Amino acid sequence: MSATSHLVRLDALGPSGAYRSRNVQTVNDIHGAPYAELSLVPPLFVARTMAALRKADPLPLEQRLDAIAAAGRAFATGTVGGLSAEEYQHAVCRVSGLPWVTTEMALEFTAQYTERAYLSSQLARPAGAVNDWRDPRTRHGSGVWARRGHVFAVHAPGNTPSAHTLWLQSLALGYRVALRPSSREPFSPHRWITALRDAGFGPDQVALLPTDHATADEVVRGADLAMVYGDDEVVRKYASSATVLPQGPGRSKFLLTKDADWTSYLDTVVSSVSAHGGAACINTTTVYVEGDPAPLARALAERLAALPSLPPQDPKAVLPVKPLAEARGIERFLLAKAAGTTPWLGGDGIVDDLGDGTAVLRPAVHQVARPDAPQTRIEQRFPCVWVAPWSPEAGVAPLRDTVVLTAVTDDEALVDRLFAEPSIANVYLGDHPTYWLPPGIPHDDYLESFLMRTKACIR
């Protein structure tokens, strides 16, 4: 990453090093001013990079773990590609409009995850499998944990920089990795690949492949396995593919049954909705309350209303900022979708014009009349929460399609049913925010379940 004139230059990072394309996408900041230039690679570049990655050997285990940890330290505290950590944070906020706090969290997560990348992945190893065929247990017959492929491609999400910690385990496992950045926030992927190369990964072991929309599929096709972030459409597209792991909307939920005194959990509900600027899939989209949801909705609205409107790079900023026109578009969408609900916050709109062509997306709290109201599935990239009534009769059905469900309940039979429901990925019980996700905890299953397999060995 280097600055030509005033624009940050984000080159592709291919097998021959940095690659400046003739096809450059200008990345604007939230004021609409050009901020960075992203080199878009053509399909042929993707195919040649994938061929190089497939030919390369992985770094030996110790070396790659050291390199991952070193890259994590550099990412979080060092100067990478000419940008200090603070300059990087500034770039992320300035372009994506994410509030400063999300970049702080990302740097903190980064250090935690990269130190523990291997330990985390070991937690996912089946109890019957050893890491290496040389392990004495194979003399009597054992499973051996092995990669399902050589090259792993990731269509990186642009919603929050913390999300990048999720694919790092693949490097610990020995995969060669190609990352396609989101043009909404290409700085984090560029910083990651640059830091990994600086730390010892070869240009034929990790690559950054910015592409236009049409070429994006080439990145997936060229890899053995791929993880793709996107909307419901993306999930449908790849649902039947054994080699693509789609990551769709999270639609995280919070359930409070009648045996829970919601006032004791209000702090946790508020932070579940609004941490990460509300932009993560592990932010709560819908709160279900057994009994009258109105008091909780009112209290939630009061608390969220107190969050300050600030430019994103302000150290106290916690809410996302968008170009005014885009913010207005999101507002129109929300108001149209919220028709027929009871607004507690943001019913007149969620746009707070900062007067400089940008606007803060203020929190929204709406109460819906039924547990299965269609609004409960609408996930947004700002603190936007739907409060819904729930009853034992409604049961598990409205709680489906959820990456994290926090349930505050004494009903063990209900908890059993939540664990039995396949479309609920994670169940947290009691006073735990939906965004709780330390290293070693599966996010949407262990990624290793997708990346690894167990082979039998006897010798």
Nearer to another protein, 15 or 81 (CB): 15
How far is it, in rounded angstroms, from Cα 327 to Cα 362? Answer: 10
**Residue 425 is a binding residue for another protein (CB under 8 A):** no
Interaction between residue 21 and another protein (CB under 8 A): yes
Tell whether residue 167 is a contact of another protein (CB under 8 A).
no
Taking the complex as a whole, how short is the minimal distance between the CB of residue 163 and another protein, in angstroms?
A: 9
User: Are 123 and 446 a contacting pair, CB within 8 Å?
Assistant: yes
Structure-token pair, residue 77 = 């505290």
Q: Judged by CB under 8 A, does residue 247 bind another protein?
A: yes
Q: Cβ closer to another protein: 174 or 250?
A: 250
366 binds another protein (CB under 8 A): no
26 binds another protein per the rule CB under 8 A: no
| Residue 274 interacts with another protein (CB under 8 A): yes or no | no
Widest pairwise Cα distance in the chain: 72
Stretch that binds another protein, among 21-29, 126-134, 346-354, 409-417 (CB under 8 A): 21-29
Residues between 80 and 139 that touch another protein (CB under 8 A): none
Q: Which of residues 45-84 bind another protein (CB under 8 A)?
A: 45, 47-48, 51
| Residue 74 CB, nearest approach to another protein (Å) | 26
Cα→Cα distances 165→38, 65, 69, 274, 430, Å? 22, 14, 12, 20, 26
Question: Looking only at residues 219 through 238 of this chain, which bind another protein when binding is defined by CB under 8 A?
Answer: 229-232, 234
* DSSP characters over 340-381: TSEEEESTT--EEE-SSSEEEE--EEEE-SSTT-GGGG---S
Give the phi and the psi of residue 182 in degrees, each rounded to 5. Answer: -80, 140
Q: How far is the CB of 231 from another protein (least distance, A)?
A: 4
Interface pattern 168-187 for another protein (x via CB under 8 A): --------------x-----
> Is 249 near another protein (CB under 8 A)?
yes
And the tokens for 229? 């972030």
End-to-end, the C-alpha distance of the chain in Å comes to 50
Question: What distance in Å separates the CA atoms of residue 451 and residue 458, rounded to the nearest whole number?
Answer: 23
Q: Is 44 among the residues that bind another protein (CB under 8 A)?
A: yes
What minimum distance in Å lies between the beta carbon of 246 and another protein?
10
Q: Which of 195, 206, 113 is nearest to 440 (CA)?
A: 113
Question: What does the alpha-carbon distance between residue 236 and residue 241 come to, in Å, rounded to a whole number?
Answer: 10
Total of residues contacting another protein (CB under 8 A): 40
Window contacting another protein (CB under 8 A); options: 100-108, 245-253, 437-445, 446-454:
245-253
Segment contacting another protein by CB under 8 A, of 84-92, 242-250, 434-442, 451-459: 242-250
- Binder to another protein among 81, 97, 99, 158 (CB under 8 A)? 158
The region of 38-46, 77-85, 358-366, 444-452 touching another protein under the rule CB under 8 A is 38-46
294 near another protein, judged by CB under 8 A: no
| HSE-CB for 128 with a 13 A CA cutoff | 9
Give 130's contacts (C-beta < 8 A, 6+ positions apart): 137, 138, 142, 143, 144, 145
Site for another protein in 303-362 (CB under 8 A): 329-330, 332-333
Residue from 378, 425, 447, 457 binding another protein (CB under 8 A): 378
Look up residue 311 and give its two tokens.
């430019």
d(CA 365, CA 344): 5
Of 108-116, 172-180, 375-383, 408-416, which segment contacts another protein by CB under 8 A? 375-383
Non-local (6+) Cβ contacts of 386 within 8 A are 285, 286, 287, 341, 366, 367, 368, 373, 375, 376, 378
Q: How far is the CB of 320 from another protein (least distance, A)?
A: 11
Q: Which is nearer to another protein, 234 or 394 (CB)?
A: 234
Helix residue ranges, H only, 251-370: 266-274, 294-305, 324-337
Q: By the criterion CB under 8 A, which residues form the site for another protein?
A: 16, 21-23, 40-45, 47-48, 51, 157-160, 182, 217, 229-232, 234, 247-250, 279-281, 283, 329-330, 332-333, 378-381
